Structure 1
Amino acid sequence: MSSPVNYHWRIAGFYFFYYAFVGMFSPYWSLYLHSLQFDAIDIAILMSLHPVMRMVAPNVWGWLADRSGKRREVVVLAAGLSALFYLGVFATTRFWGLFSVLLLMSFFWSASMPLVEATTLSWLGKNTAHYGRLRSWGSIGFIVSVVGLGYAFDYIAIAWLLWAGLVCEVGIFIFARQIPPTEVLAHHTDQQPIKQIVLQPRVLALFGACFLMAVAHGPYYTFFSIYLVEHGYAKSMVGGLWALGVICEIGVFFLMPALVRRYGFVRILYLSFAAAVLRFFLIGWAVDRVLLLLLAQVLHALTFGAYHAASVGLVHEFFRGRHQSRGQALFGSLTYGAGGVLGGLASGPIWQHWGAAALYSFSSVMALLGLMLLVWRLRGSIPGAQ
């Protein structure tokens, strides 16, 4: 008799390579573009294509997955086409060439994660609080990528970044073929139009606050590496600072089951947004004070790790049954996608005309507005809160 397939390492492998790609792209792609002599506006536009596609693509692919009932096959198709179009980065260094390549690659790359998130949570069943432990493998992939490349680029040309991205794309495709097929369980909300769920005040508040959190992070993902290099930090130190945040994030992921049981998703989100207000203020005004910059990176454990696990968990609670794939897709599109686009595009002019301190103060204000929205609309979701 054949033993049951253990999908834990297969899902973990997908997360590892997917976020290893993020660890390659977010800290270093702007440095690669900078090496090609693009100005701040061009870099902001090219870096924003990724979140633009995260805004558009997941809804298309989520609809296709729910319509066809073949979630895994859709993930495999998207991963394969993403790897294929990525090859275009080897063929051009011109603005419009890279614009076209990144647009197409990102359209397919962005499709996978919301579907895999839905698959993972469905596979976990009643153990969704353990999501963070699986997701931590993505953080490990990010660390391997960001630290390894950071040290490498002190000795080799930044153009080698393109090959690191190709390795990640191939890994994503291989493990996309290994994720489990999951059955969508019937739920009493299945006959409701998804619009009816989205328009609930608590859902709108969550999406709105998370949109603002993504706006706040736009300048971080677009200019943080350039900002550090311009202040005299070596590329290995840049990689180390990125990795420090993700190491702390892994710790939070492993603590999430206990934290969720004790505090619930909403209180965790309150803390995450408050930490983001402080973190971006420190980045903007204390970049030359290493201890404060280290503190800012440690806060990544809350501003991404705890924030991401809690927000995804709430989306899973709000969208049930056949709406799960599209719920996660809508969340990714309207928050990480639209919010990332606005934050990324706004960062170029603010950086160019008012400087880094103003840019990261803008991020801090966006996080504060998100916190205020959560407190206003989700307070009643906390047991005993009035």
Structure 2
Amino acid sequence: MPPVFTAPLALKRRVGLLFALQFFAQGVFLPFFAIFLSDKGMGDAEIGIILATPMAIRIVSGPIVAAIADMLGRRSAAISIICAISGVIFAGFLFADGFVQILTVMIAMAITNAAIIPLSDAYAMDTVRAGQGDYGRMRLWGSVSFMIATLAGGAVLEATSSTLVPVTVSVSLLACSLMALMLPELARETPLEADGGIAAAPRLRDIGFLVVLLAAALVQGSHAAYYGFGSLYWRGLGIGETLIGFFWVIGVVVEVVLFLLASKLGMRLPPLAMIALGAVAGVVRWSLFTVVHDPVAVLAVQSLHGFTFGATHLGLVGFIASRIPARRAATAQGLGGTFVGLVTASGTLVSGPLYSIDPAYAFWAMAACCALSLALLALIALRFAGRKTQGEV
């Protein structure tokens, strides 16, 4: 099916713009939405609950919406509709007052928003299979956009009001909806029965597959304390929003380099090794987070974000692509999002009370998540090694 609006740009560039618009919103939301909530009068525990809500809701809504899009074969249309609805709802934060109203808007937004990233990743992998793009090079534009949004957002917020946060996120999501209308519905290689769609269901329930998803989710979810309280922690040390923006961006710079080198790394490091690399970086990063205060040292620790997020994300996407047929890609990505949502929601809820006692406790808990991920990956590596020894596929 042709796109609703024709576009002269190559498909890979349109997908890159799609990621750019999505992550521009993320680049404003993740570092500064907690500050917006704090300025609205929310306490640490209330902020934890509000930020955990979309992560908990995505556990259910993400895979359901992604699976429906898989069955209908209308991924770009689904992305457009979901982004439009989410953008309109997000504007509701401008009018919400008090914990109950803010939480209500967050619940409504989260129901629709959860499937955006899984569907976009699945569409990007369709583009790769069609020979029209490289995943890492398309996805890196999301990281570049995140950096721009975070740096600009920090500088602007110092001079204006945190009310700008929901406005920017809302506009970015609406623009993302328009961009999705310019994407064609890519045909899959073969019918559902022929490309393994029916056989994919047992694979999605395979214990080894699920454990790898959990291991990756533990690393991704270990960002919960950082996303929820990182900016508040630095602001509590007397650091301004502009420098906080630089702290967020340095890790994304490493992430961009990683995405640029993704194809070469993919030939040298298997997906499980990429996830393990992210887990090791996580243990180091979160253990040191509240120990280092010098800006140069903070920037060095923050550079590990390129691995805690970037390497883990590439490993997870690569693992799913190698194990699940194309027709079930969005469903599998949604299932991965469910695991990430479960861990991140739990981590955010736990981080609030721990942060109130001592910020270090919250980040040490995140380091423990990464250590557990390494243990699970070691068990899976032994399991796979046993299968090869026995001649199993």
TM bracket (short chain): over 0.9
- CA deviations 1:310-361 (Å, max 9, x no partner) are 11111111111322121111111122x11111111111111112x1111111
Q: 1:300 aligns with which of 290, 305, 309?
A: 305
CA distance in 1, matches of 2:311, 2:19: 17
Match of 2:173 in 1: 169
1:248/1:298 contact within 8 Å kept: yes
Sequence identity percentage: 22
Q: CA deviation at 1:114?
A: 0.9
Counterpart of 1:201? 207
Alignment-derived partner of residue 18 in structure 2: 14
Q: Where does residue 350 of structure 2 map in the other structure?
A: 346
Aligned to 1:268: 274
Name the structure 2 match of 1:375.
Answer: 378
Q: 1:321: which partner in 2?
A: 326
SS at match of 2:134: helix
Q: Which amino acid aligns with 1:118?
A: A
* 1:158 match: secondary structure: coil
* Counterparts of 1:182 and 1:128, CA distance in 2: 11
Which of these residues, 61, 69, 75, is aligned with residue 73 of structure 2?
Answer: 69
Q: Which runs of 5+ in 1 are unaligned?
A: none
Show the 5 A alignment for 1:27-176: 27-125=31-129, 130-176=134-180
The aligned amino acid for 1:223 is F
Conserved 8 A contact 2:136-2:260:
yes
Whole-Å Cα distance in 2 between the matches of residues 16 and 368 of structure 1?
32
Name the structure 1 match of 2:197.
Answer: 190
> 1:4 and 1:87 mapped to 2: Cα distance?
31
The alignment status of 1:24 with 2:31, answered yes or no, reads no
The number of residues matched between the two structures is: 381
75-84 or 357-366: bigger deviation = 75-84
Q: Which amino acid aligns with 2:122?
A: A
Give the TM-score of the pair, scaled to structure 1. Answer: 0.93
CA contact (8 A) 1:79 1:169 kept: yes
Partner of 1:332: 337
Contact kept in structure 1, 2:20 and 2:146, CA below 8 Å: yes
Q: Tell me whether 239-248 or 172-181 shows the greater mean CA deviation.
A: 172-181
Structure 2 residue runs of 5 or longer lacking an equivalent are 1-5
**1:282 pairs with one of 252, 270, 288:** 288
Q: Sort the Cα spacing of 1:4 and 1:26 in 2 relative to 1 into closer, same or farther, 3 A.
A: closer
- CA separation in 1, counterparts of 2:151 and 2:326? 40
Q: TM-score under structure 2 normalisation?
A: 0.91
Displacement of 1:179: 2.3
Measure, in 2, the Cα distance between the counterparts of 1:5 and 1:168. Answer: 20
Q: CA RMSD in A?
A: 2.3
Matched, 1:178 2:182: yes
Matched residues in 1 for 2:131 and 2:267: separation? 12
Displacement, 1:213? 1.5
Contact 1:119 1:180 in 2 (8 A): no
Shift of 1:106: 2.1
Aligned-partner Cα distance in 1 for 2:199–2:127: 24
Q: 2:3 is matched with which residue? A: none
Q: CA deviation at 1:184?
A: 2.4
Say which of 220, 231, 244 aligns to 2:226. 220
Deviation at 1:5, TM superposition (A): 6.4
State the AA in 1 paired with 2:315.
A
Contact 1:24 1:145 in 2 (8 A): yes
CA contact (8 A) 2:127 2:133 kept: no
Q: Deviations over 1:64-87 (max 9, x none)?
A: 112222222222221121122122
**Partner-residue secondary structure (3-state), 1:157:** coil
Structure 1 residues 270 and 38 mapped into 2: Cα distance closer, same or farther (>3 Å)? Answer: same
Letter in 1 for 2:244: V
Distance 2:70 2:342 in 1: 22
Q: How far off is 1:43 after superposition?
A: 0.4
